[in-house]
Structure 1
Amino acid sequence: MQKFFNSIERAGNKLPHPFILFLWLCLIVAVFSWILASFGGTGVNPKTGAEVAVKSLISGEGAVFALTSIATNFINFPPLGIILVIMLAIGIADKTGLIAAFMQVSVIKAPRYLTTFMIFFVGMCSHVASDAAYIILIPLSAIIFQAMGRNPLVGAVTGYVAVGAGYDASILITPTDIILSGITTSAAHTVDAQAYISPLDNYYFIAASALLMSFVGAFIIERIVEPMVGKYTGDVELKLTEPDALEVKGLKRAGWATLIMIALVVAAVWPASSPLRNEEGGLVPSPLLNSAVALFGIYFVVIGCIFGTTTGKIKTARDAVGYMSESVKELAPTLVLFFAISQFLAWFKWTNLGEWIAIGGSHLLDSSGFGGTPLLVAFVGLAAVMNVFITSGSAQWSLMAPIFVPMLMLIGFEPALVQAAFRIADSATNIISPMSPYFAVCLAYLQRYQKDAGIGTLASMTIPVAMGFLIVWTLFLIFWMTMGWPIAPGVGLFMN
């Protein structure tokens, strides 16, 4: 087992940093566009009937485009503005300790028989705090397990897999929704220039997945992993620090604020003539759904400020602004990666390589007869394998979306459905990749309780969860497609 994971780690370490990887991909796009354009690479879009010709970046026209569009490619990158807005708001809730306190109270106050389920459910909802969820939930789960007389090693792993294996499932809108939907929108423009995939376009499926996979995760931990590991025989004991009285008071006030804000939104949208409804008086689509990012942003600013002022973390407006600045600083590595990704996607689109590959791929799939559900399942399998080596979801989706989104759109799949299938793979195999920095974080916590714990120790507990999530979640997608249910408000499974 250890040799296998070591080989994965060695192979992954040979990959360049994602930023460098996308710069290399830009060069590859330039070379291939020149070769295909030289040989007259063309195709006919079956949706529009228009002929598509590959354009060379290694030409006068291509050089002008590449040099004059660098800034606009980055500025117009779909996820950029939205992720900045959301993280400014969430930064206040995160830095004041609101999210951490909520996670602690949710798990600590859960009935004993629901503890494992609640760890999974809270882990999946904690992605509003991005990767900070790992740092909070791994030690918290270990301590809670030990306080209940259960094995703290299993507790630490439970916290780790709750966040990692369920990374793309949540009942809340998270930064992942924003980043993936922006990349999907950019890829879908290859086929339909008017296409727009919003952060809400996977909501029904992803919210239902959060509930289902919490039950699945709890079942695997309690019925497979925990009996396999056995009782803890060590003598290390870490103490649990519960939220203090001010934090509990702040949580209660944030809860009341949540109810008031929900009531205000309902009151605003209730009248048939509400400006938040569409012209026919409906809600799908509507200005209300288009305002989701703004509403979530306002919500997190309000509850973050309420919690911060109650606990004393915010004494003046300057404190709130400071927390917002801290959250943006933490986005710096993401913004640097976004710069390289935005250039790659823009070059890929301008050269028509994406559309040319999609047309050829769609014809191949049509002639092979391999389509429908089996095709989507094969796509999930491919993405799950790639996810072991490329642990950044945005980087991996930026590689796959420009090819697979247009290709599957041309044979009838909604781009939002393709994105939902990717999210299954992007989540399930996170926890078995030694390339993930949080694999090492979890291993470090295991070694606090058991000094000789190694990669094999962690792998033996995470592999059952990863395989269980991948299989059950994929079957759930198949069931969802069989039932023909929409995956989000106003978003079906197949294109008309």
Structure 2
Amino acid sequence: MTTATTAPKTTMQRFLDTVEKVGNMVPHPVVIFLILIGIVIALSAVLGLFGAAVTFERINPDTHKIETASTAIQSLLTIDGIRFMYSSLIPNFMSFTAVGLMIVAMIGAGVAEESGLVTALIRKLVIVSPQWALTYILAFVGILASIAADAGYLVLIPLAGIAYLAVGRHPVAGLALGFAAVAGAFTVNMLIKPLDAVLVEFTNDAARLVDPNRTIGLASNVWFSIVSVLFLTVVVAFITDRMIAPRLGAYDPKLAAEGTVTEQGAVLSEAESRGLRFAGLGLLGLIAVFCLLTIPSGAPLRNPTTGELIGNSPFMNGLIALIMLMFLVSGWAYGIGAGTLKTLTEVIAAIEKSIKSMGGTIFLFFVLSQFVAYFTYTNIGTVMALSLSGMLQAANIGALPLLIGFIVVVALIDLLLTGAIAKWAIFAPVFVPLLMKLGVEPEAVLAAYRIGDSPMNAITPLNAYFALVVGFVQKYDRNAGVGTVVSLMLPYVVWMFVLWTALFAVWKMLGLPWGL
């Protein structure tokens, strides 16, 4: 409780003020990559002038024999380099496949979100949860809500507070639970989501710096992600029940801000319920179609030579199409049932709205594509990775300690640069080749990145939704502020980070498969 006089700031609050001040000095991601492009150009010129190069052994992809090769830095300020930068502007962007994958995925996701399917589905799952399992179901649904991040932040978190209040528990504990689940485990899911497509493409671009034929698929982290979802569900629920809820104690409704309505949206309308039934039928119909396309021997989506389905097959190579159709069909079916999207024209309008909202992301991708192309052309990443891997191999530093150190570095940087895509665009060209040289598969590096990029999202004020969560908390406690939210989220961040990293280490030591 605050008094008439302003209480002195605690050490934590002063620390957060500093973080926020420093974070506000970080420029827009586009500006960051423009600066990085300038650094790459200048660095390539300097290193090229000194003839920086590295000699290494590799397996020839044609003969499969070990051969000695050499890679030198190529300057972008030579005649050839300037020609490359000028003539490759459009090809760089057009070959940046992450753009196409993101747009295709958003065609379906846009329909599902605009029709109201995602919102209704989250609300339905929360409403039907039995009281004894409410915390676990909220945590589980919150983690899965990252398939549509906006819906998770805007719908799941406030509904978690309402659900807790409805069963006589402190609503702020519910809000904390929802925020930890949605933000703290953002990069893993039981479903393949648009973010996975971008991260995988960046990983493949980086892996090709070492092995031009090395690629991973959309489901390359699926087993680790599924286990992580279940594991983190238990962790988040345990922390809520054993640490957060006891600390908050019984709720005093007098603390609520004036005009707060706690029961709003607690029951689905008949139209929404009908929409969910239609969505289920539409999804079952789509699954039936894909069963016909995949299960029979000689089905068109099986590998025409080997007949395999999981692996190198049209089904797995075009998995993004299935994801898009799942959202599109179920979203449209929900819209028909609920009356929110009745005509094809309305569906097209929903898709157009979704694509329009990606304008800033597409522009960021344009700049990213130039950075990736320039970085690849100069061979800086290859030379750096090979040089560092040689030093690390000579120092006998194990791959696992290096992976854990990588997780820590990503987590610290996430306090100031929260975008998962922007950070991976920087880290992937350096760490994927480096660790591949140490015998670490690209799937493991990407799994490590998922851990480092996630928990800090729930504590950094630079998270785009952090201020929104502060507002949610203030509805139930008008005296709350940034420090309140951070103090609530600290136990989640610390324990999720430590235990999730431990899970990763055990997974790596046991040699378990990361995905398909």
| TM category, shorter | over 0.9
* Partner AA of 1:475 in structure 2: A
One of 301, 307, 313 as aligned partner of 2:328:
301
One of 235, 238, 258 as aligned partner of 2:262:
238
Q: In structure 2, how many angstroms separate the alpha carbons of the residues matched to 1:280 and 1:336?
A: 41
* Partner AA of 1:162 in structure 2: A
One of 146, 150, 155 as aligned partner of 2:169:
150
- Report the CA distance between 1:419 and its aligned residue: 0.6
Q: Pick which of 95-104 and 275-284 moved more.
A: 275-284
* Partner AA of 1:189 in structure 2: R
- Report the CA distance between 1:166 and its aligned residue: 1.0
One of 18, 35, 38 as aligned partner of 2:29:
18
Deviations 1:130-173 (A, max 9, x none): 33321111211111111111111111122111110010111111
Q: In structure 2, how many angstroms separate the alpha carbons of the residues matched to 1:111 and 1:414?
A: 42
- Kept after mapping to 1: 8 A contact 2:278/2:336: no
- Kept after mapping to 1: 8 A contact 2:147/2:189: no
Q: In structure 2, how many angstroms separate the alpha carbons of the residues matched to 1:439 and 1:130?
A: 13
**Partner-residue secondary structure (3-state), 1:47:** strand
Q: In structure 1, how many angstroms separate the alpha carbons of the residues matched to 2:314 and 2:253?
A: 57
* Partner AA of 1:384 in structure 2: A
Corresponding residue for residue 275 of structure 1: 300
- Report the CA distance between 1:413 and its aligned residue: 1.1
Normalised to the residue count of structure 2, the TM-score between the two structures is: 0.92
Corresponding residue for residue 366 of structure 2: 339
Corresponding residue for residue 229 of structure 1: 248
1:32-51 aligned at under 5 Å gives the runs 32-48=43-59, 49-51=68-70
* Partner AA of 1:118 in structure 2: I
Q: In structure 2, how many angstroms separate the alpha carbons of the residues matched to 1:420 and 1:197?
A: 12
Instruction: Say if 2:500 is the partner of 1:448.
Output: no
One of 141, 164, 168 as aligned partner of 2:183:
164
CA RMSD of aligned residues (A): 1.4
- Report the CA distance between 1:110 and its aligned residue: 0.9
Corresponding residue for residue 464 of structure 2: 437
Q: How many positions carry a matched residue from both structures?
A: 489
One of 9, 13, 16 as aligned partner of 1:5:
16
Deviations 1:311-358 (A, max 9, x none): 111222110000001111111121121111111111100000000100
Q: Pick which of 265-274 and 210-219 moved more.
A: 265-274
Normalised to the residue count of structure 1, the TM-score between the two structures is: 0.96
Deviations 1:253-285 (A, max 9, x none): 212332333333234322233232232232231
- Kept after mapping to 2: 8 A contact 1:120/1:217: yes
Corresponding residue for residue 494 of structure 1: none
- Kept after mapping to 1: 8 A contact 2:275/2:335: yes
Corresponding residue for residue 492 of structure 1: none
Identical aligned residues as a percent: 35
- Kept after mapping to 1: 8 A contact 2:118/2:151: no
- Kept after mapping to 2: 8 A contact 1:188/1:415: yes
Q: In structure 2, how many angstroms separate the alpha carbons of the residues matched to 1:436 and 1:16?
A: 14
- When Rg is computed on C-alpha atoms for both structures, the one with the higher figure is 2
- Report the CA distance between 1:91 and its aligned residue: 0.5
Q: In structure 2, how many angstroms separate the alpha carbons of the residues matched to 1:119 and 1:169?
A: 16
One of 326, 329, 347 as aligned partner of 1:320:
347
* Partner AA of 2:264 in structure 1: L
Q: Pick which of 417-426 and 123-132 moved more.
A: 123-132
Structure 1 portions without partners, runs of 5+: 490-496
1:370-449 aligned at under 5 Å gives the runs 370-449=397-476
* Partner AA of 1:112 in structure 2: Q
Structure 2 portions without partners, runs of 5+: 1-11, 60-67
* Partner AA of 1:309 in structure 2: I
Instruction: Say if 2:322 is the partner of 1:311.
Output: no
Q: In structure 2, how many angstroms separate the alpha carbons of the residues matched to 1:293 and 1:45?
A: 37
- Kept after mapping to 1: 8 A contact 2:149/2:182: no
